[in-house]
Amino acid sequence: MGKADDNKKHKMENLLNTSFELFTSQGINKTSISDIVNKAGVAKGTFYLYFKDKYDIRNRLISHKSSQLFMQAYNALQETGINDFEGRLIFIMDYVLDELEANKGLLAFIYKDLSWAVFKKALTTPMSSDDVDFGKVYEDMLEESGMKFTNPEVMLFMIIELVGSTGYSSIMYNDPVSLKDLKPHLETSVRSIIKQFTVQ
Amino acid sequence: MGKADDNKKHKMENLLNTSFELFTSQGINKTSISDIVNKAGVAKGTFYLYFKDKYDIRNRLISHKSSQLFMQAYNALQETGINDFEGRLIFIMDYVLDELEANKGLLAFIYKDLSWAVFKKALTTPMSSDDVDFGKVYEDMLEESGMKFTNPEVMLFMIIELVGSTGYSSIMYNDPVSLKDLKPHLETSVRSIIKQFTVQ
Amino acid sequence: MGKADDNKKHKMENLLNTSFELFTSQGINKTSISDIVNKAGVAKGTFYLYFKDKYDIRNRLISHKSSQLFMQAYNALQETGINDFEGRLIFIMDYVLDELEANKGLLAFIYKDLSWAVFKKALTTPMSSDDVDFGKVYEDMLEESGMKFTNPEVMLFMIIELVGSTGYSSIMYNDPVSLKDLKPHLETSVRSIIKQFTVQ
Amino acid sequence: MGKADDNKKHKMENLLNTSFELFTSQGINKTSISDIVNKAGVAKGTFYLYFKDKYDIRNRLISHKSSQLFMQAYNALQETGINDFEGRLIFIMDYVLDELEANKGLLAFIYKDLSWAVFKKALTTPMSSDDVDFGKVYEDMLEESGMKFTNPEVMLFMIIELVGSTGYSSIMYNDPVSLKDLKPHLETSVRSIIKQFTVQ
DNA sequence: TATGAATGAGGGTTCATTCAT
DNA sequence: CATGAATGAACCCTCATTCAT
């Protein structure tokens, strides 16, 4: 039975990986179930054994990939000696932006139809056992900072929306400036936003 | 021939208006060409005499409606006595956000697939003769302010992206806070951003 | 425009005829829309211009074919000199049964899923302008008979159900007797039923 | 081995009962093998160990349920003092019609696709050891009646087809009359049919 | 016996686009 | 200019049946 379960898990991951490749390379709208199963080498019906529809698989992937991305950033952060809260947030921002610039397919995929609501869910409800709850990580960072904030959730919300939407435009269209040129402005703004929510 | 032109213009506007109603009420993906021509009372082929496809008509509408919205805000601004640059931008922001909250269909429509690139184009290249070039209006506002900015375009970009993306989440999902609760935070942040770009 | 309308009518009749052939030869369940359009030589989408679905076309065909069959019987009746009501009904019964025996596909088709309700509708609401309202014809026959009946509708109902269901079994399966052997019994029973509803 | 056989029998009856519930509640066409095995709590493959397909199970159920129904009627008849043949047949007819009116799901199920051939088989070839051969019962009734009939099989055939088809319409659609209103007419007709086959 | 994951043909349906009128 | 009937590829999804375990 271990074998059957392995096989099953293997097939599911196969479908997830294949879908991700297609979604990021040609977009979700232009990807049909047929495309996915053909590339994955399984029958059409098999898809429906594992997923409700295309959007089911998309949501799972967004959660998984976002979580993964943030945890990579967090792990990299641990290996630096950065201790101040502002510096740590900005390190994560930089890391994520660089990662997304290097992988525009991923950016297009997770940004499309992405609302704060979906995002929050993605970050706080780990998909697989390997995923980590970034909500908890954020709470830890807040605590370790020794600082006090009036509304940490809204603070994070504003930072993510600002960084996300401006970063998207810079990375995807180089408009109105490149990511490299945008970053200093973003850093300043993020520090302002943090200050604005800090309780002295 | 004036009559023929009028007729032509009339038909085109009819299609534009009908499309807008359908796009904002049921979304662009769920709106088919058939829906549009049925509601507009013209033949299917006629649609293709005026527009390339659904996305052609969408882009024109986004430009037109955005421009309209900003000009409404600007006109309302003129009737106030607000003179300081920061106050004027914030008035426009408030006005636009309130308008979008009152008309969520419009918000969903112009926000979906909206990038800064499209937006800038919308604001600076008037669709019809009635539309105004908001790019010019912005320049005027800068000049009248008597202030100097290091990079006014990026400044506007950051403000619009921040306000747009956080406003969208608040208005559409009340998440993480309502628009009413978001506004004070936004105002503070926008003032910070303006300061950050101001040359003393 | 006459030409276009002709063409349209022609295409619709083409689909009706093709469907009928397939329904009667292989059954409605085994007939797919694909089968129909392939045989008719039109595109799949065309089918949906004329009919809602397979069952829409079936209902129209049942109405049309039933009506046709009864009118054939009635026309044949006119050419005989039969004058008494019982004799006329029995002539029609014989005619219809013979016709159905000669065309078992038609029998299977119109009998399947056929309820009195559908049947009554079929006989009383002509599909096309060529079809005749058999309900009216029956009324005329009643009137011309000079007889009085307590409940002519129930009388017809019982006769049709008896003749239809026994005839079906005899024709399709020769069970428990052939149509030829069944007929004398049926004739006797039908006369009894008429008598039972006759007001002296 | 008795235990294994019991288990086997148990599983088969489980599938039969589950299928019957689904067939009568939602119709056979809308019932899939998946529905059946899910509700029965067995694996899909198991179904095919006991039955060829959905229609195999249906035929067995029709036989079993019809037989059951007629035997119920017959047993009820025994407890009345009714002695004359006509009265006994009419009692059975009434009993069966009432039962079917109270259980329209059952009526829809056994009537659909029901031909005299299937019916006769159902009545004369007991499915399980509990089922009784109604064919024999009918023979007994004929004998006990002390009467002589020209063709008792055709007589029964005509009665069953008449009662079945008119009863179906009355019960399911109240068209053209309710069962209550239909019954007196049916009784009269059945008596006529019996008379017509009686040898003086 | 029993399982249930996998199959894949085939179903119905939609809709952007064309083109003869 | 305007029409709208016709197209047909493409879509999603179901489900009876098989077979390795």
Mean of pLDDT over chain A: 89
Predicted TM-score of the model (pTM): 0.83
Does residue B2 carry a pLDDT above 50?
no
- In this predicted structure, what is the pLDDT of residue B44? 96
- d(C-alpha B32, C-alpha B30), whole Å: 6
**What's CA D98's distance to the chain center, in Å?**
13
Q: For A66-75, give one letter per residue: b (16+ CB within 10 A) or e.
A: bbbbbbebbe
Mean pLDDT of the region D131-144? 87
Smallest Cα–Cα separation from C195: which of B173, D61, A44, D191? Answer: D191
Long-range contacts: C146-155, Cβ < 8 Å, 24+?
C147/C85, C147/C198, C147/C199, C148/C198, C148/C199, C149/C197, C149/C198, C149/C199, C150/C197, C150/C198, C150/C199, C151/C197, C151/D185, C152/C197, C153/D176, C154/C197, C154/D176, C154/D177, C154/D182, C154/D185, C155/C193, C155/C194, C155/C196, C155/C197
pLDDT at A161 (0 to 100): 93
pLDDT tens, A157-183?
Answer: 999 999 999 999 999 999 899 999 999
Q: Quote the Cα angle for D73-D74-D78, to 5°.
A: 120
Question: Measuring from the CA of residue C29 to each C1', which nucleotide is nearest?
Answer: E11
Give the angle subtended at the CA of A148 by the CAs of A142 and A152, to the nearest 5°: 60
Pairwise CA distance, residues B25 & B64, whole Å: 18
pLDDT for A77: 96
Measured distance CA(C37)–CA(D32) in Å, rounded: 28
Confidence of residue D153 (pLDDT cuts 50, 70, 90): very high
- Whole-number distance in Å between C60 CA and F10 C1': 30
Stated as kind and residue range, the H or E segment containing C198 is strand C198-199
Q: What residue type is C9 in one-letter code?
A: K
Asked if C119 contacts C161 with a C-beta cutoff of 8 angstroms, the reply is: no
> Which of the residues B158, B170, B188, B194 would you substitute to probe the A interface, choosing the one with the greatest number of A C-beta atoms within 10 Å?
B158
Q: Average pLDDT, stretch B107-124?
A: 75
Q: Are A196 and B162 in contact (CB under 8 A)?
A: no
Of residues A164, A175, A193, nearest to B165 (C-beta):
A164
Contact (CB, 8 A) for D199 and D150: yes
The residue with greater pLDDT, A84 or C124, is A84
Closest in A161, A175, A189 to B117, CB measured: A175
Q: Provide the pLDDT for residue A2.
A: 47
Instruction: Measure, in angstroms, how far nucleotide F1 C1' is from residue C1 CA.
Output: 18
Spatial separation of the C-alpha atoms in residues A174 and A167, rounded to whole Å: 9
Please report the pLDDT score of residue D156 as a whole number: 95
For residue A18, pLDDT beyond 50: yes
Is the pLDDT at D135 greater than 90? The verdict is no
Phi/psi-derived region of residue A113, left when phi > 0, alpha when psi is between -120 and 50, beta in every other case: left
> Highest mean pLDDT range out of B11-15, C27-31, D16-20?
D16-20
Q: How many residues does chain A have?
A: 200
Chains with ≥3 CB–CB distances under 8 Å to B: A
* Residues 18-57 of D, Cβ under 7 A from nucleic strand E: 42-46, 49
pLDDT band at D134 (very low <50, low <70, confident <90, very high): confident
- Residues 58-97 of chain A within 7 A of strand F, judged by CB, are none
pLDDT of D3 over the 60 cut: no
Element housing A149 (H / E): strand A148-149
pLDDT at C62: 86
* Residue of least CA–C1' distance to E7: A43
Q: Which of A161, A185, A188 has its CB closest to that of B166? A: A161
Tokens of residue B34, six digits? 């058939």
* C189 CA – E14 C1', rounded, Å: 54
Distance from CA(A46) to C1'(E3), angstroms, rounded: 18
pLDDT for res C133:
81
Least-confidence region, from A34-43, B37-46, D129-138 = D129-138
In sequence order, the 6+-apart residues with CB closer than 8 A to the CB of B14 are: B40, B41, B42
- Of residues B127 and C58, the one with the higher pLDDT is C58
Report d(CA B26, CA B43) in Å as an integer: 21
Closest CA to D20 of D61, D55, D70: D61
N-terminal to C-terminal alpha carbon distance within chain C: 59
Calculate how close chain A gets to B79, using CA atoms only, in Å.
31
Whether residues A188 and B196 touch (CB distance < 8 A) is answered with: yes
D10 touches strand E (CB under 7 A): no
Chains contacting A with at least 3 CB pairs below 8 Å?
A: B
Q: What are the pLDDT tens digits along chain C (200 aa)?
A: 445 556 667 888 999 999 999 999 988 889 999 999 999 999 999 999 999 999 899 988 988 888 889 889 999 999 999 999 999 999 999 999 999 999 998 998 888 656 677 678 777 776 666 667 888 889 999 999 999 999 999 999 999 999 999 999 999 999 899 999 999 999 999 999 999 999 98
- Does B193 touch chain A if contact means CB atoms closer than 8 Å? yes
Shortest CA to C1' contact from A3: nucleotide: F21
Protein-covered nucleotides of chain E (CB closer than 7 Å) are 1-21
Note the pLDDT of residue C1. Answer: 40
User: What's the 3-state SS for chain B?
Assistant: CHHHHHHHHHHHHHHHHHHHHHHHHHCCCCCCHHHHHHHHCCCHHHHHHHCCCHHHHHHHHHHHHHHHHHHHHHHHHHCCCCCCHHHHHHHHHHHHHHHHHHCHHHHHHHHCCCCHHHHHHHHHCCCCCCCCCHHHHHHHHHHHHCCEECCHHHHHHHHHHHHHHHHHHHHHHCCCCCHHHHHHHHHHHHHHHHHHHEEC
**Across the C/D interface, how many CB contacts are shorter than 8 Å?**
96
Report the percentage of chain D scoring pLDDT > 90.
70
Q: Indicate the range of A75-79, B105-109, C109-113 predicted with least confidence.
A: C109-113
Distance B22 CA to E15 C1' (A): 17
pLDDT one-digit tens code per residue, B43-71: 999 999 999 999 999 988 988 888 889 88
pLDDT of residue D4: 54
| Nearest chain A CA: its distance from B14 CA (Å) | 29
Nearest CA in chain C to D192: C192
Q: Residue B122 in contact with residue B67, Cβ under 8 Å?
A: yes
| Residue C56: exposure state from Cβ atoms within 10 A (0-12, 13-18, ≥19) | exposed
Instruction: Say if A120 is an interface residue toward chain B (CB within 8 Å).
Output: yes
Q: Which of B154, B173, B185 sits opposite A158 (nearest CB)?
A: B185
Cβ atoms of D90 and D190 within 8 Å: the answer is yes
Which of A157, A165, A192 shows the shortest C-beta gap to B164? A165
pLDDT value of position C2:
47
C154 interfaces chain D, CB cutoff of 8 Å = yes
**Chain B 39-68 residues in 7 Å CB range of strand E:** 44-45, 47-48, 53-54
Nearest amino-acid residue to F11, taking CA and C1': A32
Q: What is the pLDDT of residue C4?
A: 55
DSSP string, A93-129: HHHHHHHHHH-HHHHHHHHTT--HHHHHHHHHS-SST
Please state, in angstroms and rounded to a whole number, the distance separating the CA atoms of residues A18 and A20.
5
User: What percent of chain B lies above the pLDDT cut of 70?
Assistant: 90
CB atoms inside a 10 Å sphere around CB C102: 10
Question: Comparing C-alpha atoms, which of B63, B47, B194, B84 is closest to residue B126?
Answer: B63
The better pLDDT of the pair A118, D68 is held by D68
Least Cα distance to D98 among D106, A66, B70 occurs for D106
Report the C-alpha gap between C14 and A130 in whole angstroms: 61
**d(C-alpha D119, C-alpha D63), whole Å:** 7
Distance CA C42, CA B176 (A): 55
Helix, strand or coil, per DSSP, at residue D27: coil
Q: How confident is the model at residue A39 (pLDDT cuts 50, 70, 90)?
A: very high
Residue A129 has pLDDT above 70, yes or no: no
Longest CA pairwise span in chain C (Å): 61
Across the range D18-31, mean pLDDT stands at: 93
State how far residue C177 is from chain D, nearest Cα, in angstroms: 8
CA dihedral A168, A173, A178, A183 (to 10 degrees): -10
Grade residue B7 by pLDDT with cuts at 50, 70 and 90.
low
- The gap between B51 CA and E17 C1' (Å) is 12
Three-state SS for C104?
A: helix
Q: Please report the DSSP string for C32-52 in residue order.
A: -HHHHHHHHTS-HHHHHHH-S
Q: Is the bond preceding D184 in cis, omega lying within 30 degrees of 0?
A: no
For D35-60, what is the mean pLDDT? 94
3-class DSSP assignment, residue A63: helix
Tell me the pLDDT tens digit for each residue of B77-88: 999 999 999 999
Q: Let me know: does B32 contact B85? Beta carbons within 8 Å.
A: no
User: What is the CA C48 to C1' F6 distance in angstroms?
Assistant: 11
| Distance, CA of C37 to CA of C17 (rounded, Å) | 11
Does any CB of chain B come closer than 8 Å to the CB of residue A153?
yes
